[in-house]
Amino acid sequence: MNHDEALQQRATEKYLLDELDPALRDQFEEHLFDCQECALDVRAAAMFVEQTKVVLAESPANEVRVPAAVPQRGWLSWLRPAFAAPVLAMLLVVIGYQNRLLREAHEPQVATWASVNIATRGTEATVVKPRQGEGFNLLVNLPPDQSYATYTLELYNPTGKLQWAGRIPAASSDDARSIYISGTGLEQGNYTLDTNGVTATGQSSKISSKLIEVQIQK
């Protein structure tokens, strides 16, 4: 059984309700060893059921009793007609929410980006529009200059405080490098990106100072 088959057959819910025939149950349990998502679903559901049992047992307003005789299936036998419908509904909510979090965690996140040409002159600002709380990428086009071994880049925030700094090896031809600016402490306003060329002997020369206008989107 693969993950798509498990989803189509609603194997997680049926496994929790002990409604899988022995062959499918064995296939699903074998699948759990290879599928982290299904394993997390079952683990979360088991914890949820145990916590729900505790709450129901402690609540005097509920006339629900846990059977004295516990069959071989353990806590699975607790999911029977008197409990199955409401508990399953809550389990589906928990599982659905957890699956959404897992999908979001594994889906690639494309950050906002802008291109900056270090070699060109001019005072026009490069505008970048990250979402609130998120960072952005700067695609930096470095000039081909054999006199420099590396480049150092420093990004200063609107108050003149250093926001980010990094070192990039020089290239033999026109080259674009991507740098990521974290959203931590990011504020709206005009930033300054200073670029310095550093020779093999360590001598540094300022090449450019570019204006980066950050417009935070809510």
What is the per-residue DSSP string for 168-209? EE--SS-EEEEEEE-STT--SEEEEEEEEEE-TT--EEEEEE
Domains of the chain: 3-106 (no CATH), 112-214 (2.60.40.4070)
Measured distance CA(29)–CA(1) in Å, rounded: 9
pTM of the model: 0.50
79 and 87 Cβ atoms separated by less than 8 Å: yes
Measured distance CA(115)–CA(155) in Å, rounded: 15
189 and 161 Cβ atoms separated by less than 8 Å: no
Q: Is the pLDDT of residue 167 over 80?
A: yes
Measured distance CA(136)–CA(204) in Å, rounded: 27
Amino acid at 25: R
- Per-residue model confidence as pLDDT tens digits over 169-215: 886 555 678 889 988 899 999 999 999 999 989 999 999 999 999 99
